[in-house]
């Protein structure tokens, strides 16, 4: 180690983009502050992240915009007639059927009051779609490079299951946006009160949109706690994270008090063979999600092996945050479905 370097974040000049580093001359020796994540292909580093996201999300958003004028199908029409068009009091106190995605109905109501046209009614879904792709890009870019973030946005945005459900006049697009926002917070190193308040509020409205989002919130909370088990004040940071995610559940329960009895009735009964039912649900879900991408599964496997080899030596919990969150969202809900013996509508598992 050079004795002239006081700040550990300072390192000798490398081939990284010199225009984005900070020079500090000590005894005639120049040192440059080099963000690790910027050490990628030179051509890509010269382009701002926002432009890369725009290019990656352009085609998916164009495809979604082309669906703005689609006619309403039966469930969408039912949601509008019996919930969105009614008073706010009716929306928050009526869960007689699971068509009422309560928080989504509240978000859609102002648009419905402006116009009942299909374009206006589907406009919030388009905004949620853009938000989902933006949060995805941010999450991957924070823990990987620009190329990985671009591929993630393009892959999700061109998946038929995503395109179909994100643009529906239902709460699925909102659920995916909130889930991706919470995933960002789960991986973020923030420990301030704003960070924890954001988790509590977003987590509560996530559950208030669809009660089955509970099967995603719990794995995300567990991943957030695990991601903080390292460094200074480990247990204090982990306990604070657990508290904020638990507070989200408590706040959502408070929101749901007017419909608590109806929620219990709508939850149904425990299935006879929860393991078989859970595995069957997982099989149908992943078959739909990978319908157009089966040829890429070997690349996923090779990439996972390569990343494991990179991280198996001296890997920190922070570096493992992204794979921990991905694994929790992929497998955590299935394990909870088996544990609780429930088989929700497959589209409820869009997040």
Q: Which of 169, 173, 197 is nearest to 77 (CA)?
A: 169
Residue 237: pLDDT band by 50, 70, 90 thresholds? confident
pLDDT per position as a tens digit, 170-225: 999 999 999 999 999 998 876 788 999 999 999 999 999 999 999 999 999 999 99
DSSP string, 248-283: HHHHHHHHTGGGHHHHHHHT----S-HHHHHHHHHH
Contacts of 287 (CB under 8 A, 6+ apart): none
Q: Give the three-state DSSP class for 28.
A: coil
- The β-bridge relationship of strands 23-26 and 29-33 is antiparallel
- For the ranges 49-53, 109-113, 167-171, the lowest mean pLDDT is seen at 49-53
Q: What is the pTM of this model?
A: 0.84
- 107, 124 contact by CB (below 8 A): yes
Give the residue-averaged pLDDT of 70-99: 94
* Burial grade of 41 (CB within 10 A; 0-12, 13-18, 19 or more): exposed
The pLDDT score that the predictor gives to residue 318 is 67
Give the residue-averaged pLDDT of 263-283: 90
pLDDT at residue 339 greater than cutoff 90? yes
% of the chain with per-residue pLDDT over 90:
61
Q: Give the three-state DSSP class for 340.
A: helix
Quote the crossing angle between the two packed helices 172-187 and 118-143, to the nearest 10°: 20
Q: Which residues pair with 31 in a beta bridge?
A: 12, 24
Residues 186, 233: Cα–Cα separation, whole Å: 17
Distance of CA 34 to the CA centre of its chain: 29
Name the region of 97 (left: φ>0; alpha: ψ -120 to 50; beta: rest): beta
Give the residue-averaged pLDDT of 96-111: 94
- For the ranges 222-236, 243-257, 278-292, the lowest mean pLDDT is seen at 222-236
Rg (CA), the chain: 23
């Amino acid at each position: 180690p050079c004795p002239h370097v006081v700040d550990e974040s300072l390192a000798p000049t490398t081939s990284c983009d010199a225009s984005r580093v900070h020079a500090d001359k000590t005894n005639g020796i120049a040192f440059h502050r080099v963000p690790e994540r910027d050490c990628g292909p030179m051509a890509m580093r010269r382009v701002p992240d926002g432009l890369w996201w725009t290019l990656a999300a352009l085609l998916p958003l164009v495809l979604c915009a082309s669906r703005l004028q689609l006619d309403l199908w039966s469930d969408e029409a039912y949601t509008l007639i019996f919930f969105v068009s009614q008073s706010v009091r009716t929306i928050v106190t009526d869960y007689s059927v699971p068509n009422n995605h309560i928080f989504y109905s509240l978000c859609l109501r102002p648009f419905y009051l402006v116009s009942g046209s299909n374009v206006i009614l589907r406009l919030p879904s388009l905004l949620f779609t853009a938000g989902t792709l933006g949060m995805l890009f941010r999450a991957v870019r924070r823990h990987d490079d620009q190329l990985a973030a671009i591929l993630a946005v393009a892959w999700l945005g061109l998946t038929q299951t995503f395109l179909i459900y994100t643009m529906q006049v239902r709460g699925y697009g909102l659920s995916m946006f909130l889930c991706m926002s919470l995933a960002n917070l789960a991986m973020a190193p923030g420990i301030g009160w704003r960070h924890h308040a954001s988790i509590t509020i977003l987590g509560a409205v996530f559950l208030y949109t669809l009660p089955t989002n509970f099967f995603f919130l719990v794995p995300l909370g567990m991943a957030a706690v695990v991601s903080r088990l390292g460094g200074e004040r480990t247990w204090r940071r982990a306990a604070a994270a657990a508290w904020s995610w638990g507070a989200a559940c408590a706040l959502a329960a408070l929101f749901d008090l007017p419909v608590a009895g109806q929620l219990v009735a709508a939850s149904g009964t425990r299935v006879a063979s929860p393991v078989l039912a859970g595995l069957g649900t997982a099989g149908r879900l992943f078959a739909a999600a990978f319908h157009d991408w089966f040829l890429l599964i070997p690349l996923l496997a090779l990439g996972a092996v390569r990343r494991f080899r990179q991280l198996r030596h001296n890997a920190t919990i922070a570096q493992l945050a992204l794979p921990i969150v991905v694994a929790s969202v992929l497998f955590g809900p299935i394990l909870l479905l088996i544990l609780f013996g429930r088989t929700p509508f497959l589209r409820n598992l869009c997040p």
